[in-house]
């Protein structure tokens, strides 16, 4: 009897886990992958920015895995809604949670819920046509916006706001988002870093891409780009050096003459989002200095000096956190599935739960690039293979019963072939209007299109 594995989540971490499992020499293995959406690929479809199409070509690797005869895809099947963790335990020897981190982290400052204050997660999902966010609306009539945080998500949000929308027209951006961006009056975007240029989380390529935009100048105040003594010691790190040298070079360029300005600010923390009649009008910032964090790094500490920056929009881009799934252990504090190197553990005893594993952001938190998930998944799979060899498995029935079980529950699941049908419809709709693809953005429309094609 083959070892039967369920993978929950079809983003990069899930697919790299499938790839590593199907490569493992033990051989006789079957993989069923579940996703709550009818479409696979997680953040590659719903997160990667539309002007980064090249990054999305990584799906060719995932598709090769999905076309293996030992692999089945069950889209439109949500764990905790259509299937329970106990169902998976009853049908699979091993379960891999590859569920990512679907929620945004909050700033925890007053005014965060005013109209015009948005999470980057929602904005990104909206412009990418993610069904969860496609019905939101973003009023981009303000001239000034603030993006809080300086990770790569903040860079994506800033670029999308600062770009000439015509440069996005041929991508897979949602049509309604492109229209809204065409009407946008945003001219000045403040990116707010609580620490200095040596601690910025963005990759050198990402900040340089903003500096290279034809539509916007990247403006840096040299006074804020100067490093303190402790930060200077971090310049031996090549990434840090690249980032610092780049912002210093930008600071010398001054204001520039392009129509939009991206103003990169350092050593400032939002302490309140201010509003009138329920709408954002400004953000109150406290100037910071850097102090040792007790772990060998530097953290921001308020100086008691404040300023008010008038802005009509705030995008909070300070990281993601996981969402608990009924019946699956969850650590509220870290927002992750508790685990020892990828083996899911009982939160009370810290003992591994037989046959349960975790990969990707759900395992290690929201860090790293897409490729980071390959090594992460391979490390978990190594333990899974060890456990297979040692016979530490769930005593499971056969997953052959899964399609019937889903049908009995009235779940209209989507196979990989169905997804390929949807994919080709999206691509051909795109070809008609000169776009990479025109995405379906509502689940019922996706299901109807698949039914129609059958
Ligand atoms: P991130 O890289 O962890 O950045 C989070 C940012 O938020 C940091 O600048 C952090 O500052 C700041 N922050 C956190 N709490 C804050 C607070 N209370 N007040 C002010 N600032 C705060 O997270 P991310 O941008 O969400 O990205 C997640 C992962 O996806 C990253 O590994 C990223 O590289 C990856 N990603 C990559 C790409 C790409 O390659 N193009 C695109 C998108 C995302 P501190 O450093 O001071 O904590």
DSSP character string of 377-401: HHHHHHHHHHHHHTT-------GGG
Give the separation between CA 74 and CA 412, rounded to whole angstroms. 9
Query: Where do the CATH 3.50.50.60 domains begin and end in the chain?
Result: 105-319
Mutate which of 119, 151, 271 for ligand 1 pocket (most atoms within 8 A of beta carbon): 151
Residue 43, pLDDT > 90, answer yes
Question: Which structure tokens are listed for 129?
Answer: 């046509």
| pLDDT, tens digit (0-9, with 9 covering 90-100), for 255-305 | 999 999 999 999 999 999 999 999 999 999 999 999 999 999 999 999 999
Q: Give distance in angstroms: CA of 295 to centre of ligand 1.
A: 19
Burial class (CB in 10 A: 0-12, 13-18, 19+), 450: buried
Q: Give distance in angstroms: CA of 240 to centre of ligand 1.
A: 15
CATH (residue range 105-319): 3.50.50.60
Is there a contact between 202 and 239 (Cβ–Cβ < 8 Å)? no
Q: Which residues line the pocket of ligand 1, CB cutoff 6 A?
A: 107, 148-154, 156, 194-195, 199, 201, 203, 206, 269, 317-320, 366-369
Q: Give distance in angstroms: CA of 218 to centre of ligand 1.
A: 19
CA distances from 125 to 53, 156, 236, 349, 391 (A): 16, 12, 37, 37, 41
Give the end-to-end CA distance of the chain in Å, rounded to a whole number: 33
What's the rounded mean pLDDT across residues 190-200? 98
What's the rounded mean pLDDT across residues 343-358? 96
Residue 396, pLDDT > 80, answer no
Instruction: Output the pTM of the full model.
Output: 0.97
Give the pLDDT of residue 26. Answer: 60
Whose tokens are 């369920």? That residue is 6
Q: Give distance in angstroms: CA of 21 to centre of ligand 1.
A: 30
| pLDDT, tens digit (0-9, with 9 covering 90-100), for 417-446 | 999 999 999 999 999 999 999 999 999 999
Output 325 or 25, whichever has higher pLDDT: 325
Give the pLDDT of residue 27. Answer: 62
Give the separation between CA 329 and CA 299, rounded to whole angstroms. 31
CA triple 162-165-168, angle to 5 deg: 110
Give the separation between CA 321 and CA 332, rounded to whole angstroms. 9
Residue 239, pLDDT > 70, answer yes
Predicted confidence band at 73 (pLDDT cuts at 50, 70, 90)?
Answer: very high
Q: Give distance in angstroms: CA of 194 to centre of ligand 1.
A: 11
Residue 345, pLDDT > 90, answer yes
Give the pLDDT of residue 395. Answer: 81
What's the rounded mean pLDDT across residues 325-335? 95
Is there a contact between 104 and 122 (Cβ–Cβ < 8 Å)? yes
Question: Which structure tokens are listed for 74?
Answer: 């069950």
Whose tokens are 């690929």? That residue is 41
Average pLDDT, the chain: 96
Domain covering 3-102+322-414 assigned CATH 3.40.50.720 in the classification: yes
What's the rounded mean pLDDT across residues 133-152? 98
Which residues is 5 bridged to in the sheet?
A: 31, 94
Give the separation between CA 342 and CA 369, rounded to whole angstroms. 18
Q: Whose CA is nearest to atom 41 of ligand 1?
A: 152
User: Which atom of ligand 1 is closest in space to residue 318's alpha carbon?
Assistant: 7
Give the separation between CA 320 and CA 101, rounded to whole angstroms. 6
CA triple 99-24-401, angle to 5 deg: 60
Query: Where do the CATH 3.40.50.720 domains begin and end in the chain?
Result: 3-102+322-414
Give the pLDDT of residue 454. Answer: 87
């Amino acid at each position: 009897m083959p070892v039967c594995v369920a993978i929950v989540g079809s983003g990069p971490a899930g697919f790299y886990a499938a790839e590593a499992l199907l490569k493992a020499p033990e051989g006789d293995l079957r993989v069923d992958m579940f996703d709550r959406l009818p479409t696979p690929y997680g953040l590659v479809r719903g997160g990667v920015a539309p002007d980064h199409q090249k990054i999305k070509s990584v799906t060719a690797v995932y598709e090769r895995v999905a076309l293996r005869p030992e692999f089945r895809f069950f889209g439109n099947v949500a764990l905790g809604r259509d299937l329970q963790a106990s169902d998976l335990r009853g049908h699979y020897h091993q379960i891999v949670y590859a569920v990512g981190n679907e929620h945004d982290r909050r700033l925890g400052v007053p005014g965060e819920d005013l109209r015009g204050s948005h999470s980057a997660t929602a904005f990104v999902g909206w412009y990418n046509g993610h069904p969860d966010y496609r019905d939101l609306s973003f009023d981009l009539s303000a001239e000034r916006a603030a993006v809080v945080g300086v990770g790569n998500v903040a860079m994506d949000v800033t670029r999308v706001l600062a770009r000439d929308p015509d440069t996005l027209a041929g991508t897979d951006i949602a049509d309604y988002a492109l229209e809204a961006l065409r009407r946008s009056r945003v001219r000045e975007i403040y990116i707010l870093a609580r620490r200095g240029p040596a601690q910025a989380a963005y990759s050198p390529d990402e900040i340089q891409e903003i500096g290279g935009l034809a539509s916007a100048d990247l403006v840096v105040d040299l006074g804020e780009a100067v490093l303190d003594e402790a930060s200077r010691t971090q310049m031996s790190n090549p990434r840090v050096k690249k980032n610092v040298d780049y912002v210093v070079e930008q600071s010398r360029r001054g204001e520039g003459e392009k129509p939009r300005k991206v103003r990169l600010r350092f050593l400032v923390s939002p302490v309140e989002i201010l509003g009138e009649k329920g709408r954002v009008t400004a953000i109150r910032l406290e100037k910071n200095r850097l102090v040792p964090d007790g772990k060998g790094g530097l953290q921001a500490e308020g100086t008691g000096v404040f300023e008010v920056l008038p802005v009509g929009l705030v995008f909070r881009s300070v990281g993601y956190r996981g969402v608990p799934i009924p019946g699956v252990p969850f650590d509220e504090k870290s927002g992750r599935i508790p685990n020892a190197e990828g083996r899911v553990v009982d939160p009370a005893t810290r003992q591994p739960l037989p046959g349960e594993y975790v990969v990707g952001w759900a395992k290690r938190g929201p860090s790293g690039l897409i490729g980071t998930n390959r090594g992460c998944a391979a490390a978990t799979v190594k333990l899974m293979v060890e456990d297979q060899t040692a016979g530490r498995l769930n005593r499971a029935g056969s997953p052959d019963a899964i399609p019937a079980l889903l049908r009995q529950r009235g779940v209209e699941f989507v196979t990989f072939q169905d997804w390929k049908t949807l994919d080709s419809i999206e691509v051909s709709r795109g070809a008609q209007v000169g776009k990479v693809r025109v995405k379906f953005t509502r689940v019922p429309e996706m299901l109807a299109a698949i039914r129609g094609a059958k």
